[in-house]
Amino acid sequence: MGTTTVNISAAQVKELRDKTNAPMMDCKNALTESKGDVEGAIVILRKKGIATAAKKATRATSEGSVSSYIHAGGKIGVLVEVNCESDFVARTDDFKGLVHDIAMHIAATDPRFVRKEDVTPEAFEKEKDIYRAQAAATGKPAPVIEKIVEGKMDKFYEEVCLYEQPFIKEQTITVGQLIATVIGKLGENISVRRFARFKVGDVGETIAVSKAGDTASE
């Protein structure tokens, strides 16, 4: 059988660009690779963004911006600092939109940490002990208990770490993957440095600083 050539229409390219904000040529190439399947092209673009992000992860991020988001009639407020490599990128609509989306996400989900690596040993051991006690109560063998605990810790990270949480506007990707997609588009390393979340009536506020951010800006 010969190779089938798929004609990619301008409408398909526009549809993919509207869904991903990726450059036109990247959209066309992804559609060609996926043989016109828009959903498949989205996966291809995400993988490309994540691969690009991995290559740029060690590059210093000393520019960026601080943004605020006020929600629920002034009942919840968020301040977040997101860093990039240049002031030029910090002024782009794509970067500003990402920072706004991250601030809005934090307001909605109240994460406790930025990344998995930022979870304190105390918080990690406390949760692990709780899960291990719960699993042990089932009477299952030790190897099975450890597998159960491992699975619950993955869920714990998803609940409390910003980068691991499903993005509120698109639950099929995490916040980390969202950031990776924008890194792929803008060509610079981007990282969340820190955030603070305040809620009227709460005794304390949530304040998180990323250890990765400390390293990247040195």
- In this structure, the chain runs to a length of 218
Full-model pTM: 0.72
Per-residue pLDDT band for 53 (boundaries 50, 70, 90) equals low
Per-residue pLDDT band for 213 (boundaries 50, 70, 90) equals low
Tens digits of residue pLDDT in 32-49: 988 889 888 888 877 777
Radius of gyration for the chain, computed over Cα atoms and rounded to the nearest angstrom: 20
Range of lowest pLDDT (76-85, 140-149, 171-180, 191-200): 140-149
Geometric angle at alpha carbon 125, from 124 and 129, rounded to 5° = 125
pLDDT of residue 21: 67
Count of Cβ atoms closer than 10 Å to residue 122 Cβ: 8
User: In the chain, which residues fall in CATH 1.10.8.10?
Assistant: 1-56
Only one residue has tokens 């250890």, namely: 211
Helix locations, the chain, DSSP H: 10-20, 24-33, 38-56, 87-90, 93-109, 121-136, 142-160, 175-186, 211-216
User: In the chain, which residues fall in CATH 1.10.286?
Assistant: 120-157
Return mean pLDDT, the chain.
Answer: 86
Query: Ranked by mean pLDDT, which of 1-5, 59-63, 80-84, 125-129 comes out on top?
Result: 80-84
Q: Which 3 state secondary structure label does DSSP give 71?
A: strand
User: In the chain, which residues fall in CATH 3.30.479.20?
Assistant: 61-119+161-218
- The CATH class for the domain spanning 1-56 reads mainly alpha
User: Looking at per-residue confidence, does 55 or 64 come out higher?
Assistant: 64
Q: Which 3 state secondary structure label does DSSP give 166?
A: strand
Q: Is the backbone of residue 207 left (phi > 0), alpha (psi -120 to 50) or beta?
A: beta
Question: Which architecture does CATH list for 120-157?
Answer: Orthogonal Bundle (1.10)
CA dihedral 143, 148, 150, 153 (to 10 degrees): -150
As a whole number, mean pLDDT of residues 91-117 equals 96
Q: Which residues of 61-85 are buried (b: 16+ CB within 10 A; e: fewer)?
A: bebbeebebebeeeebbbbbbbbbb
Count of Cβ atoms closer than 10 Å to residue 17 Cβ: 16
In angstroms, the CA 116 to CA 73 distance is 31
pLDDT of residue 76: 95
CATH topology of domain 61-119+161-218: Tetrahydropterin Synthase; Chain A (3.30.479)
* Cα atoms in the 13 Å half-sphere on the side-chain side of 199: 13
Q: Which 3 state secondary structure label does DSSP give 217?
A: coil
Tens digits of residue pLDDT in 107-130: 999 999 999 999 998 998 898 888
Residue 91 has pLDDT above 70, yes or no: yes
